[in-house]
Homo-oligomer: A and B are copies of this chain.
Amino acid sequence: MSGTFSPSSPPSPEPTQGFLRACLRLPVAETPLWLMRQAGRYLPEYRQVRAKAGDFLSLCKNPGLATEVTLQPVRRFGLDAAILFSDILVVPEAMGMSLRFSEGEGPILDNPLRDRAAVDRLRIPDPETALGYVMETVARIRRELPASVPLIGFSGSPWTLATYMVEGGSSKGFRWIKAMMYNDPGTLHALLERIADSVAAYLNAQIRHGAQAVQIFDTWGGVLTPQAFREFSLAGMARILSRLERRGSDGSRVPVILFAKGCGTMLEAMADTGCEVLGLDWTTPLDEARRRVGDRVALQGNMDPAVMYADAAVVRREATAIIRAFGANPGHVFNLGHGMAPDMDPERVVELVRAVRETSREILANPR
């Protein structure tokens, strides 16, 4: 599967930005890097904007402020890509659910979905209206970013979004969605398809408004058996991929990054979806992943985020080890294996960027 290309499509122009080049496995002089949750509470300038916005959801819905926090880490650290500041749960809200974030408790979706009738009442939202504030943010970020820095759009995976929609919020035991999966898989499939179609339209709109790559986050795929992962998580991501416009308005290829946390055993199946990039958590070594998926996809990752709690010298050592493990091959986007945490020190990011740049420049200039 490779999306909606027709045989007569003209060849995409080769991008010049390192991040996009690495996603497409084109040669680069330095390994590009960005960080999951690079815009966030660990940055004092973020906390300032957040205080101005009030609650978290208001920040997501304010294009001016959401643009500002998206740009902050790019400015401060000189990262190679920006990622839209938003939340995966704006999609369930646009589908008709009521969303709020309670301080300390995390997200709450009222009236969680427990039966087919509730699923059938969900709408597939028009992203231009129901999620217009995201589109305005995407367009604004793209206008304010330098041309050298690509913008990544994103969404949660259907399975991951469904867990929140069925549980009513965060979960540990996944009681309700698993009961639905085991007792009434037809209803869950109906829900997952509706979410997948909503997400596909949402990501296509992000691409139209200026996103140059998109990442699908499957945060909770790791709680499934391999068989259930294929049926209830991977299938939904593949459905999105089959519906995505894989070219931006200027005709350039829009790479898709699949990131499924805790799914290291499923990499081969994920690479088969036709995505350009697999995002890895830190439990699968990059060289092992590369052996297993061959050169079908680029790899993104995968430093243990907890390294950021260690000394600067350790950050340098661990980043260097990952760059060396990947070697002088095309197709590596450096990232953490999961997001930055609020109690991490921004100075570690400075050290990380320096180490990734220096080591990769040296290695890529002297391939063995």
Interface residues in chain A, defined as those with a beta carbon under 8 Å from any beta carbon in chain B:
173-176, 178-179, 182-183, 222, 224-228, 262, 264-265, 282-285, 304-307, 309-311, 314, 318, 341, 343
Contacts and interface: CB of A to CB of B under 8 A. Distances in A.
Contacts of A343: 173, 175
Main secondary structure of the interface of A (DSSP, over half): helix
A221 to B, nearest CB: 10
Contacts of A314: 182-183
A187 to B, nearest CB: 13
A343 B343 CA distance: 33
Contacts of A306: 173-175, 178-179, 182
A284 B229 CA distance: 12
A146 B314 CA distance: 55
Contact of A178 (B224, B262, B285, B310): B310
A310 B182 contact: yes
Given A182-B318, A262-B262, A226 B285 contact: yes
Contact of A225 (B179, B227, B285, B309): B285
Nearest to A314: B182
19 contacts: A173-B309, A173-B341, A173-B343, A175-B309, A175-B341, A178-B307, A178-B309, A179-B309, A179-B310, A182-B306, A182-B307, A182-B309, A182-B311, A182-B314, A183-B310, A183-B311, A224-B283, A225-B282, A265-B265
Contacts of A283: 222, 224-226, 262, 265
A178 B305 CA distance: 10
A307 B310 CA distance: 40
Contacts of A309: 173, 175-176, 178-179, 182
Given A178-B306, A222-B262, 4 more contacts: A173-B309, A179-B306, A179-B309, A182-B307
Interface centre among A176, A310, A314 (most CB of B within 10 A): A310
A265 B289 CA distance: 12
A284 B311 contact: no
A281 to B, nearest CB: 10
A294 to B, nearest CB: 19
Nearest to A313: B183
Query: Quick one: which of A176, A182, A224, A311 has the most chain B CB within 10 A?
Result: A182
A305 B179 CA distance: 11
Nearest to A284: B265
Nearest to A227: B285
